[in-house]
Structure 1
Amino acid sequence: MAAGCIGGGGGSTSSSESPTKSTTSSASQTTTSNEYTVSPSETTTSTQGETTTSQTQTTTSPTQTTTTAPQTTTTVTHTTTTPQQGNVELIILTRHDTTIQSLAKEYFLKSDIAKEYHITKIRFIKATESQWVEFIKRGVADVGWGGGPTLFDTLYTEGYLAPITDEKILSLLGTNISETIAGMPMVRKDNDGKVYWIAAALSSFGFTENKKALQKWGLPEPKKWEDIASEAWARDPPQYGIADPTRSTSNTRIYQIILQAFGWDQGWRILTLIAANSRIYDASDAVREAVIAGDIAAGNTIDFYGYTAMQLNPDCVYIIPEGESIINGDPIALLKSSKHPEAAQAFIYWVLTEGQKIWLNKEVNRLPVNPSIFNTPEGQQRQDLRTAYYLALHTRGIQFDDERALKTIYAMQQYFKATLVDTNEELHRAWMAIVNAHKSGKIDDQTFERLKDELTAPIQFKDPETGETVTFTEEYAEKINDKILKDPNFKDTIVQEWRDAAKAKYQKVLQEVNG
């Protein structure tokens, strides 16, 4: 469904991904935030005021208490954090842009919570997903904020998040903040009920189109993912845009949605044809910018990228594929590297309550996770966002299995990159040859369908460990998922196998068309 424009005039966009066209650096390179420059190999923060004082006889340290997250049928004991003495500097590891960073710094440092916990300074580190682990390992950051559930679930799985134990935060769950929205988790808990991240904002996933560019290229308006994966969208140069999943958490989520919406086998066929009709970009914001400029007619976008495009160019419209999308929570979490866990949790509480007004800013335009913010004076001015929030609550999406997605995420990202990104030129050339042969009458409908089926069929490749010829089934992806992450040699070998096999398949189809 098409989304209405929310917010006022244009401005700097907000995002849990980079808002500017830039080349992402590796974890060994220097990362620049709006406040300072830091390398993951440097430790730049010092321990200040680590002493805590008890305000009540029941107050304990979060590191000493095992907590159970609130459930409807259980009695829960929480930890109450105590303000630290001395000046505290918090370091926030983030994917949010400088607009959100600046607003958070301005609002929070004026808050009573900041004063209570003696927090006098906030520094932000804007880092790519691949750099987060290095920063956490070096003990550089206290809080992780923004970047999508894929990133935070990865950190949770690998043990880089600390459980949230503050009673004020946990009391928000199930009251001010729903634990699920549109069937999707807004909280990540372990088997013991400990809470490791909480959504701070909501997001949906779809595509943004430029109506003027659609008209220029004679393209039908897409409503669903299958529309883009069709002969009707085959153009030279391609007029759809997608991002490399190894560089974009939002595009990773879109691909996971498609794989679950259509099933693993059919999902990969649809992804293959979408990629065949697409230009590949290094980052999701670059896709958005291309749509705004009319360089392409449409492209994958998270919702607030779409809303930004609509503000900056009236020809742009953001569309949520009906019944083929989900609502995601964009998390905030306490990092295990935090030197100030009490103050860090105080900041998290602020973000989930008073700090929700950041999303209402007309240069941000995101959906808050805590609807009580709409009862504030700022919230009363954003009835458009209030409407969008309650629309999101009733979005008809797929029954997305987050645990299932996590089991194949690394394998899926690398397979997509090897077979659809690195070999995109060969894929696009073969697909255009099939389409043009069909349009010219060189091949009939039956031959067209057969060649399309061959082009999108699962590739066969040699398993590096067994030497056997296999296909990339969901079961196989799950089996090698952790090995892809932990064994660089295995990853490099199998990625090359995938790349070579995909290229050979596309060239074979092209030769058959031309032959």
Structure 2
Amino acid sequence: MVSHKNNNRILFISTLFTLFLLFFSQVALPATASKSTITPDQSPGVINIITRHESGILDSFAEGFLASSFAQDIGYTTSDKNKIVFWTVQTTQGWQTALGRTGEGAMDLAWGGGPPLFDSMIEANLLQPINNLNDQDLMNLIDAQVPTEVAGVEMTKISNSDLMWAANVISSFGFTVNNKVLADFGLEKPSTWEELASPDFFVDENIASIAMGNPPETTSNTRIYQIILQQFGWERGWEILMSMAGNGAIFGGSLATRAGVIQEQVAVSMTIDFYGVYAATECSDCEYVIPTDGTAINGDPIAVAANMINPEAAAAFMKYTFSDEGQSLWIKNDRLPIAVGAFNTPLGQTRPDVAELYNVTLTNQGIDFDDDLALATLETTIEYFDSTISDIHADLKIVWSELVNSFKDGTITRAEFDAKVTELAAPQLTLDEAKVANTQIKSSAQYKVDIKNEWLETARTRYIGSSEDDSPFPALWSFFSIVAIMMVISILRKKRT
């Protein structure tokens, strides 16, 4: 028989294990350049960098930095791989937790994740001005390498004359097509978001033509959805997103979404530009498309953590990333450097495909994207999409299939189809209400749960109710139910007599 003491011990150990899992679900184990899983000694030479960049990019920069004069001038050698520690963290909460650390284990730099994430960290006082490093060489390098704007989009964040972040790499947002799958599905190659939302892009209830990432799991796809919402307006934007989801499927993160088009699961995937370039190198049928009806250029930042403890190494690493040599590593990894001089390096001259995309991106007239508005509605956009599209996608697919088929077989007119789409997709809160909800979602976990449940149930009622309205079976079922009840009553009366 197991004693109560042993039961208590087991319960205590289980609780500790659960807390351990909960903590590391938010903050990933550090990844060093050598893929070591040990926790490094927090010596003056260690740089802790929180990031959302992929491991291949991190390895390239760690190796390049240690071999550079920037590193060797302050005492690093090429064998110091365990002193460049990358903390790969995906969630906003995880970033807040990691950047909030002080003393041993504190973050020195934040690198990659998009302007909205960095702006939210500034808002939470978790980043400090780059000029606090007191390194004039670094400031001069940033001035020389980082343009004030690209295609009308600012590439630095200035607050009260302080440089809070600077773009280290640029991106556009669009989609990647697989021309073979388009042909197999009998679809024309799209060039706009509205084409993807058209009933013409619907294949079958059980076949997805589009892969869309789920916002809680992908920053880049979330930015795509925000671009659509700003370009077309809050109401029309949600119509387009719902319609695209009706034609497609929800694929989780951006890697899974990209894999969908490479592996011929779908004809189109939502992608940031460098994922499109990568897809094209992996699959000759794939091609990245910058939508003609709206994209935005993005400067992916690097910044200094508020609780940084290694300023000399942080400044050296930043200088390397802004040098032509460091910038050429973005080209190697299918991305667009912020500094045009990177294309004059030996690495840069090997990728004319990236140079071509770079030139197209710089001449692209993107939308007038409002970063402040994006930040003010970010959490609402993520959770509303998750509740009304991702969580009940099966219900959406059913009603969308019935609606498109009714239009295609002539049962309803295009005007009736459009009216029904507007009814189904009508946002449950105005843009101003979305800003208020955004603040409440960030400040109250219970509010977030409650409002998401409310949004989900309202959307489900719309989808299911619309599906039943369009079907003859509810009326027939009611008729036969009444007949059955009358027959039972008649039989009971006969038995009584």
Question: For residue 242 of structure 1, what is the aligned residue in structure 2?
Answer: 212
Distance 2:198 2:399 in 1: 14
Structure 1, 200-209 or 169-178: larger mean CA deviation: 169-178
Distance 1:28 1:228 in 2: 34
- The 5 Å alignment of 1:46-445 reads 46-49=41-44, 88-119=45-76, 120=80, 121-130=83-92, 131-139=94-102, 140=105, 141-165=107-131, 166-190=135-159, 192-235=160-203, 236=205, 237-353=207-323, 354-361=325-332, 364-445=333-414
Distance 2:108 2:273 in 1: 28
2:441/2:448 contact within 8 Å kept: yes
- CA shift, 1:265, in A, is 1.2
Cα separation, partners in 2 of 1:135 and 1:99, compared to 1, 3 Å: same
Question: For residue 499 of structure 1, what is the aligned residue in structure 2?
Answer: 456
Distance 1:374 1:228 in 2: 34
- Is the partner of 1:260 in helix, strand or coil? helix
2:193/2:293 contact within 8 Å kept: no
- Is the partner of 1:152 in helix, strand or coil? helix
Question: For residue 31 of structure 1, what is the aligned residue in structure 2?
Answer: 29
Cα separation, partners in 2 of 1:415 and 1:26, compared to 1, 3 Å: farther
Question: For residue 430 of structure 2, what is the aligned residue in structure 1?
Answer: 473
Distance 1:325 1:26 in 2: 35
Please list the CA deviations of residues 301-326 of structure 1 after superposition, one character each: whole Å capped at 9, or x if unmatched.
Answer: 00011011111111111100014001
- CA shift, 1:101, in A, is 1.4
- CA shift, 1:122, in A, is 0.9
- CA shift, 1:28, in A, is 4.4
- CA shift, 1:32, in A, is 5.9
Please list the CA deviations of residues 459-507 of structure 1 after superposition, one character each: whole Å capped at 9, or x if unmatched.
Answer: 3xxxxxxxxxxxx111001112121112101111111110111111111
Distance 1:319 1:224 in 2: 9
- CA shift, 1:46, in A, is 4.8
Cα separation, partners in 2 of 1:172 and 1:488, compared to 1, 3 Å: same
2:173/2:295 contact within 8 Å kept: yes
Cα separation, partners in 2 of 1:222 and 1:163, compared to 1, 3 Å: same
- Is the partner of 2:366 in helix, strand or coil? coil
- CA shift, 1:249, in A, is 0.5
- Is the partner of 1:495 in helix, strand or coil? helix
Cα separation, partners in 2 of 1:182 and 1:30, compared to 1, 3 Å: closer
Structure 1, 381-390 or 340-349: larger mean CA deviation: 381-390
- Is the partner of 2:329 in helix, strand or coil? helix
Instruction: Pick the structure with more helix per residue.
Output: 2
- CA shift, 1:48, in A, is 3.0
Cα separation, partners in 2 of 1:312 and 1:509, compared to 1, 3 Å: same
- CA shift, 1:116, in A, is 2.0
User: Counterpart amino acid of 2:109?
Assistant: V
- CA shift, 1:359, in A, is 1.3
1:173/1:179 contact within 8 Å kept: no
- CA shift, 1:401, in A, is 1.0
Please list the CA deviations of residues 141-193 of structure 1 after superposition, one character each: whole Å capped at 9, or x if unmatched.
Answer: 21111122222122122111111013223223443210211111211121x12
2:28/2:87 contact within 8 Å kept: no
Distance 2:306 2:371 in 1: 23
Aligned length: 434
Cα separation, partners in 2 of 1:386 and 1:442, compared to 1, 3 Å: closer
Distance 1:262 1:147 in 2: 25
Identity %: 36
Cα separation, partners in 2 of 1:333 and 1:442, compared to 1, 3 Å: same
Superposition TM-score, scaled by structure 2 size = 0.83
Distance 2:387 2:219 in 1: 17
Please list the CA deviations of residues 98-142 of structure 1 after superposition, one character each: whole Å capped at 9, or x if unmatched.
Answer: 211111111111111112223443122222133222222234321
Question: For residue 84 of structure 1, what is the aligned residue in structure 2?
Answer: none
1:214/1:297 contact within 8 Å kept: yes
Please list the CA deviations of residues 344-386 of structure 1 after superposition, one character each: whole Å capped at 9, or x if unmatched.
Answer: 122111101131121122xx12111011222333333444433
- Is the partner of 1:48 in helix, strand or coil? coil
1:47/1:339 contact within 8 Å kept: no
Q: Which runs of 5+ in 1 are unaligned?
A: 1-23, 39-43, 50-87, 460-471
User: Counterpart amino acid of 2:394?
Assistant: E
- CA shift, 1:281, in A, is 1.3
1:360/1:385 contact within 8 Å kept: yes
- CA shift, 1:457, in A, is 2.1
User: Counterpart amino acid of 1:288?
Assistant: R
Cα separation, partners in 2 of 1:28 and 1:388, compared to 1, 3 Å: closer
Distance 1:177 1:443 in 2: 54
Distance 2:215 2:245 in 1: 12
Which structure: larger Rg? 2
User: Counterpart amino acid of 1:106?
Assistant: E
Distance 2:26 2:221 in 1: 24
Distance 1:451 1:300 in 2: 25
User: Counterpart amino acid of 2:307?
Assistant: S
User: Counterpart amino acid of 2:29?
Assistant: T
1:220/1:232 contact within 8 Å kept: no
1:25/1:31 contact within 8 Å kept: no
Cα separation, partners in 2 of 1:276 and 1:29, compared to 1, 3 Å: same
2:26/2:91 contact within 8 Å kept: no
Superposition TM-score, scaled by structure 1 size = 0.80
1:33/1:126 contact within 8 Å kept: yes
User: Counterpart amino acid of 2:335?
Assistant: R
Structure 1, 450-459 or 390-399: larger mean CA deviation: 450-459
Tell whether 2:469 aligns with 1:512: yes
